[in-house]
Amino acid sequence: MDSNRTMTYIEAIRDGLRTEMRRDPDVLVMGEDIGGEFGGAFKATKGLEAEFGARRVMNMPMTELAFIGAATGMGLMGLRPVIEVQFADFISTGFDSIVQYAATTHYRWGAAVPWVIRAPADGGIRSGPFHSQNPEAWFVHTPGLKVVAPATPADAKGLLLAAIRDNNPVIYFESKPLYRSLRGAVPRGDRATPIGRARIAREGHHVTVITYGEMVRQALTAADSLAPEVDVEVIDLRTLKPLDRDTVTASVRKTGRAVVAHAANRLAGVGAEIAADLGQAAFEYLDAPIHRIGGLDVPVPFSPPLEDAYRPGADDIMAAIRETVAY
């Protein structure tokens, strides 16, 4: 029997939740409208209450600060909650529970807080400023958290399994534009993707594009469009904290050029840390300045042409690659 199945990105998330809930009775899910036939705003939890019951699929009121705090208490008592915030934008209402308490608990008194927050992030689907943000930099900057951002259906499941099994609090950023538009092979069973290990999504020798989430698809599109003119290597970070600095550095030392891209606004984004790190670890190998690509420093527009101008895509990555190679 084939060890893989073809699934959409969101089907892989649901499969990951079901796999862990069957494997470990201490795993539960909680969030707004996640139970019953509704199954969450994007249907990621549809069918779970019918299988596991309302004690393990818990509908919450619109009080992120309270139910994330409750999940921390559950984690301290031995459970493994998976929290859905309907949109990553709403995570700000639970910020204090995350960064002031859950992230510091192990440091302060040695206790594990094994929860996962599923945060549907990113734009490109005309949802406006309250439903399109990429707030990952807040949490990468916070000691005590792990942060992951899968770009494929296989990693959507694999990183979710790893996050649920991790004894640290993990923020799991899932890319809404990929939910039903991206299909791929997903391993059956409980094969986890290790946290902290990047993936070489495409091998090349002229320039390295370093990215994550939906921008991996954009980078691969750009790389395919430029071949054979330019041989582009694409690094899918998969984990934003801890960063796999070794894989990134090795690739840039090989190619001599780097483009760092993300959908989040560029100012003080994750790409800034990567570029600064490469400036130290690979300076003598660089044949061109490191090129950073990110969103504009404005709220995410609702208007389609304005959002397209705000948010980088394959054409922007292609232009950056050409500029970097021609330097």
Phi-psi group of 126: left, alpha or beta (phi > 0 → left; psi -120 to 50 → alpha; rest → beta): left
Beta bridge pairs of residue 259 = 209, 291
> Using CA atoms in the order 277, 282, 288, 291, what is the torsion angle rounded to 10 degrees?
-20
| 152: CB partners within 8 A, 6+ apart | 9, 182, 184, 216, 236
Q: Which residue has the tokens 């000691």?
A: 143
* Tokens matching residue 280: 């130290």
Q: Which of 131, 141, 262, 291 is catalytic?
A: 131
**Residue of 116, 88, 92, 130 lying closest to 26 (CA atoms):** 116
Q: Alpha carbon of 265 to those of 141, 180, 293: distances in Å?
A: 15, 24, 9
Q: Alpha carbon of 302 to those of 135, 243, 250, 269: distances in Å?
A: 18, 32, 39, 22
Degrees, nearest 5: CA angle 73-76-79: 90
DSSP 184: E
User: Do 322 and 314 meet the contact criterion of CB atoms below 8 Å apart?
Assistant: no
DSSP 174: E
**Residue of 1, 66, 304, 16 lying closest to 186 (CA atoms):** 16
131 in active site = yes
- What would you report as the CA-atom Rg of the chain, rounded to the nearest whole angstrom? 19
Provide the 3-class DSSP secondary structure of residue 157: helix
CA distance 13 to 31: 15
Catalytically active residues, by annotation: 131
